[in-house]
Amino acid sequence: MAKEFAWDWISRNESQMIEVSDKVWEFAELGLLEFKSSELLAKTLEEYGFTVDRGIADMPTAFVATYGSGSPVIAINGEYDALPGLSQKAIAQQDPLEEGAPGHGCGHNIHGVSGMAGAIGAKIAMEKNKIPGTIKFFGCPAEETYSGKVFMVRDGYFDNVDAAISHHAGSTNTAGIGSSLAVKSAKFHFHGLTSHAAYSPEHGRSALDALELMNVGVNYMREHIMQEARIHYVIEKGGMQPNVVPDYARSWYYIRAPEMSQVDEMITWILDIAKGANLMARTKHVVDVVEGCTNVIPSKSLSDVVVGNMREIGAPEYTNQEMDFLKEMNKSITKEAKIELLRMMKRPDWEDFVDVLIDTTIPDPWDKGIVWPGSTDVGDVSWVTPTMEFTTATGLLGDPGHSWQTVAVCGMSIGHKSMLFAAKAIAGTALDLLTKPEQLKAVQDEFEKRLMGREYKCPIPDDVKPPHEVAREAAKITRT
């Protein structure tokens, strides 16, 4: 059987896949700067006979690797960006490799390589069994910051894809069917006039005043927005020192809601508040939309295929040494914090997991109808093709995520096992979709039903390009 052949191939070649994952873990490159990581993945796919198109959608670290021809076209996505300041050794106590440097706190080294290994496994099985169709591995930059996939969707790279699958490090082996919040991010630039703040304040116009008035307005608006919405901001520039009236101030806002139309409604209100603040402070202002991503359209039928494959493969087992590692790491998390986290997961009978170190079950997804309070650029892919991003248990249950604990497990055998398990689930799912037209049809029928005739609208304006300069600047700041 083609699937067993692919799984066996992944097992036989696991040392190479682990080596790639560990290198990406060591590189720990930030969004849009993943030069070494993306090249390593692209080169490995080329070695196995994929044709690679590098630098797509105006991003040097984005690529698409293709094998085969004709339909169906199955996409497999992989990410490889790290997070700032999370450098950590692959050990059970907090100890940075390099103080202040980035680390894979969201496990994207596992994410990129599970997809790559799954794509290669599926390709080898297609070749051996003469299975027609196309596999496309998408190397997706900057998930954490600049939503790389949105630019790839905007440029049409997912237009002829029949279904897309990917994996993410997580706390459970399952394929969730919840959604995420749509988000837009905007920067508000206020311009005033400098003057001596004591001698001639009447000649000054404070950009900081305008910015603060805007924030006050938005915080009053907050009372009248829907429960699931989120608005958060930072002040990026607020002047240099108190005796100079600041002539420039800048805030950065995230605005989130279950649907993009709701985000847009809130933005219209916020733009009016900014205008009002501007009038009050006698300043000028400019608004830049930086980025955005759309809510996830779930797929129960893709979830069924992925969970079915996970159960056929069987969840990883852990050695005594690995369990001791987790026991040691567990000391870094209080019981109260773990209870809070489990409650938030909304899993039925979550109380049974309070003393569990790593979840080895493969449950049915329990999040039907739930909108999780984060956002992801996977959402944009899910509006143009049926999409599933599933999780495998990658480390300590109770790990808060974006944490040193995640970095540590993703650089050692517990993370490797999660990656190989996910690679096999990806290969199995891709081969099912390529060889069982009735399953692919069910996936596509559900997709049409959930879209309800709505069309995808890219949240990023046509003239906004991937923010390479911003990414380079951010990397400089986070290094110091």
The footprint of Zn ion (CB under 5 A) covers 106
Closest approach, Cβ 83 to Zn ion, in A, equals 9
Closest approach, Cβ 408 to Zn ion, in A, equals 16
Residue 51, φ and ψ in degrees, nearest 5: -95, 125
> Structure tokens of 123?
């390709």
Q: Give whichever of 80 and 383 is closer to Zn ion, judged by the CB atom.
A: 80
Closest approach, Cβ 460 to Zn ion, in A, equals 20
CA distance 3 to 309: 9
DSSP string across 136-181: EEEEE--TTTT-HHHHHHHTTTTTT-SEEEEEEEESSSB----EE-
Report which DSSP code applies to 438.
Answer: H
Closest approach, Cβ 55 to Zn ion, in A, equals 23
CA distance 88 to 69: 42
Q: Give whichever of 124 and 397 is closer to Zn ion, judged by the CB atom.
A: 397
Strands 133-140 and 63-69: antiparallel
Q: H helices of 392-467, where?
A: 404-410, 413-435, 437-451
Q: Give whichever of 205 and 256 is closer to Zn ion, judged by the CB atom.
A: 256
**Minimal CA–CA distance to 378: which of 175, 230, 226?**
175
Closest approach, Cβ 166 to Zn ion, in A, equals 10
DSSP string across 293-331: EPPP---HHHHHHHHHHHHHH------HHHHHHHHHHHT
Q: Give whichever of 106 and 471 is closer to Zn ion, judged by the CB atom.
A: 106
Closest approach, Cβ 169 to Zn ion, in A, equals 7
Q: Give whichever of 61 and 206 is closer to Zn ion, judged by the CB atom.
A: 61
CA distance 42 to 435: 26
Q: Give whichever of 106 and 249 is closer to Zn ion, judged by the CB atom.
A: 106
Closest approach, Cβ 405 to Zn ion, in A, equals 15
Q: Are 211 and 187 in contact (CB under 8 A)?
A: no
Residue type at position 402 = H
Q: Give whichever of 106 and 119 is closer to Zn ion, judged by the CB atom.
A: 106
Q: Give whichever of 38 and 301 is closer to Zn ion, judged by the CB atom.
A: 38
Q: Give whichever of 31 and 217 is closer to Zn ion, judged by the CB atom.
A: 31
- Name the CA dihedral angle for 97, 102, 108, 109, rounded to a multiple of 10 degrees: -40
**Minimal CA–CA distance to 310: which of 398, 432, 132?**
432
Q: Is 256 exposed, middle or buried (0-12, 13-18, 19+ CB in 10 A)?
A: buried
Q: Is 335 exposed, middle or buried (0-12, 13-18, 19+ CB in 10 A)?
A: exposed
Closest approach, Cβ 89 to Zn ion, in A, equals 21
Q: Give whichever of 134 and 173 is closer to Zn ion, judged by the CB atom.
A: 173
Which single residue brings its beta carbon nearest to Zn ion? 106
Closest approach, Cβ 168 to Zn ion, in A, equals 6
Closest approach, Cβ 331 to Zn ion, in A, equals 25
